Structure 1
Amino acid sequence: MKLNPYLNFDGTCEEAFNFYKKVFQTEFNPFGIMRFGDVPASEEMPPIPEEYRNRIMHVGINLGDQTLMGSDIMPGFGNRPFQIGDNNYVSIHPDSREEADRLFKELSAGGEIEMPMQDQFWGDYFGSFRDQFGTSWMINYNANA
């Protein structure tokens, strides 16, 4: 199982990660930068307002054998209003779909679910929530990882 920090921004994710990339002398992960405007239309995803289409949906940089990940928040996607100091997640990458479900169920008990565990358009099984203690978590299982 891997644990990775996941940082959220209010429209400055690309600027921040270009800065981190320079400081840590690294590059973006092979998948590059995913923008909200790249999200395929579906019943589960609300329409993306034009002013948010260029915001970052997901980006990552490698720091040794660890990954620092991030995104901009998107109004209407279950996010709380952006607040500095309250804008990070712990991203868990379990070794099985069953372990992903167990961790999600147990960690989210008494908390607030943002996105239930479900298959996502990018190919992973993913869910997010804030636990009963106020810690934000992402569970992300990829069968091919």
Structure 2
Amino acid sequence: MQIQSYLFFNGRCEEAINFYRKALGAEVEMMMRNSDSPEPMPQLPPGMENKIMHASLRIGESTVMMTDGECKDDVKQSAFQGFSLSLDLPDAAAAHRQFDALAEGGQVVMPLEKTFWSPCFGMLKDRFGVSWMVGVHDMEAKG
């Protein structure tokens, strides 16, 4: 069994894909726009044809799936709450690179610092409101 994240970006999915490609070196494994659907989508509102129906990104050894979702007008920003994506890196230098890249346009919740469980750990919300925990789990790694 495997659990994977599926994120809804309310019309900003392509922007998020480009951001994660730059910030994390994510690779697009699959991307389908609404207009690529093999079946007609009669309920699709006008202007939604080029929005992302489904995308799958490879980030390191993990897969993160995403979509534009329903793109409701009353939702200005995705409201990601109650979870964080955790990014485990081999050393502090890598943690700082990825943390700084994800924090661009976002909000640092806890700066990267040494903790009792990690030589380097921090938390942030990226520009899309996705919460991230970035750290090094190996206490022997340089912090």
TM bucket, shorter chain: 0.3 to 0.5
TM-score when scaled to structure 1?
0.47
